[in-house]
A and B are shown apart, each in its own frame.
Chain A
């Protein structure tokens, strides 16, 4: 019996009996049955050895058949074939397995186009919800909110839940909606109210931080982390609206508009009475979800937005305002709210660490914009603080080391104005 739940079904071409036998042994023993060889009628993919005498002809023939199935080519020479997966011989296990992953995705997608998968109705949790325990500190992870996952009941396998997602991706309009690019004026109305801080006052500066774990943001992040670790769809319940987290597709489902979410995200839940949150297996009826596909959001875009609303121009308390920060990578800005100066700050911080106040000073912008931006990036796990502070890191540098002439700088600024007009 196959060790894989869903082995790829392949038909082999251009291989003599001996090579076929060797390949079979390799797939069985080394790849742990990630691929099984079947007849042409049953096959999901075609695999061709183009080094054989007939290999090139077979490839041409398969290509002329309009690519009914995903095709993977084996060769001892590097080849560059349009829209065909390629494995170089001698075969490396890492490459083979990554190619199989991609093939599995392509096969599943092809299937989902052909048929509407029957989705089982999820079972409700039977042994109650789990209260979130927020005693532990949040960190990037230095510690996490504790959720007693040991009693999360009857979770539905992620594959079943994701069948829905695979079929209806294109209908998730919120998930693929283009980003809003906010200027300073629009940001003020977007965020509702921004903390007004005198940054020359040390006490006020210290007060301009917040603890994500005191807010809805903290609960969402903690639940997402558990869902990701367990590979399960989880539901975060509150006196407000249920939030479903789909870890495999990195999505959330929430039937609420932005105003409602903004209002709820600004409430300090640990201080508010009567607000209880719990995590359970997904109990919202799939029929409800299917009817409201516009309620699906990309997880990163959702967390980003939630963190910015929670921040209201403050920074996460775990970040030391006196030490430089840097970004691991660019956020996906076409699908996230672009806060004022976010593109500039990212371009700066992916190249070199800066303190938050030196960024504000260097770019001549309000620190609140930096704090809101860092809050969003921190919630996505993109912010790091190096341990050592050097004089060089504290210097205000707002340009890349590549010298840009004043003339060219003027030109680039005019292109920017044109694009933003």
Chain B
């Protein structure tokens, strides 16, 4: 049986682990460790290998949800994780110093995967920092020649993450119908 994956990526603290937790049918498997470097300023524990969750489908199929480690020194894993991926969910933390720089970095790092599939972007922590606005993100994306879905997201809220993933699927094929 084919292994289908949805990949969640983004910088440290953007909410990848939480987003997977919100929609997974199993308790996600986490590979957290105590943060010991710059990361500890943002969170006490961080993902060092990957997070893993599952979406069970009606016919018994499973969709694997993988979260990449946010720290760039683990970027050698990113290519491996994306093999067989349906698409990319990029989460960005709006309270970080330069979310646009984060966005460009991850879009660039996953550019080949995005070209072959598609990407959607969720901006977290907008209730703490309302700037940059979603419109400003769109303006930046315009410079990059991209028009992905980009939404404000609370990674703890299942429907937020669900809507983001739905947008990913419709971006792959607007003709999809959930009743089929």
Binding site for B on A (CB under 8 A): 63, 66-67, 70-71, 80, 82-86, 102, 105-106, 109, 169-170, 172, 176, 178-179, 181, 249-250, 329-330, 332-335, 338, 343-348, 350-351, 362-363, 398-400, 402, 404, 409-420
Contact = CB atoms under 8 A, between A and B. Distances in A.
A415 B173 contact: no
A86 B172 CA distance: 35
Interface string B124-145: 0011111101110010000000
Given A82-B39, A334-B153, A411 B61 contact: yes
B163 A347 contact: no
A333 B172 contact: no
A404 B138 contact: no
Given A178-B159, A411-B61, A330 B167 contact: yes
A344 B38 contact: no
- Size band of the interface chain B makes with A: 35 or more
A113 to B, nearest CB: 10
A334 B175 contact: no
Nearest to A364: B177
A412 B130 contact: no
A253 B171 CA distance: 34
Nearest to A359: B174
Given A329-B147, A330-B148, A411-B4, 6 more contacts: A63-B38, A85-B97, A169-B128, A330-B147, A409-B176, A413-B176
B175 A398 contact: yes
A338 B163 contact: yes
B92 interface: no
Given A176-B152, A413-B177, A347 B170 contact: yes
Contacts of A250: 133, 135
Interface in B44-100: 55-59, 61, 63, 72, 86, 96-98
Contacts of B98: 85-86, 102
A398 B58 contact: no
Contact of A414 (B61, B126, B151, B163): B61
Contact of A332 (B4, B39, B96, B134): B134
A82 B38 contact: yes
A249 B126 CA distance: 12
29 contacts: A80-B105, A82-B11, A82-B38, A83-B38, A86-B98, A102-B98, A169-B127, A169-B130, A170-B127, A178-B157, A178-B159, A250-B135, A329-B138, A333-B163, A344-B177, A346-B170, A347-B170, A348-B174, A351-B147, A351-B174, A411-B61, A415-B55, A415-B57, A416-B169, A417-B179, A419-B55, A419-B166, A420-B166, A420-B178
| Residue in B11, B129, B130, B176 with the greatest tally of chain A CB atoms within 10 Å | B176
A400 B153 contact: no
A418 B128 contact: no
A106 B97 contact: yes
B36 interface: no
Contacts of A85: 97-98
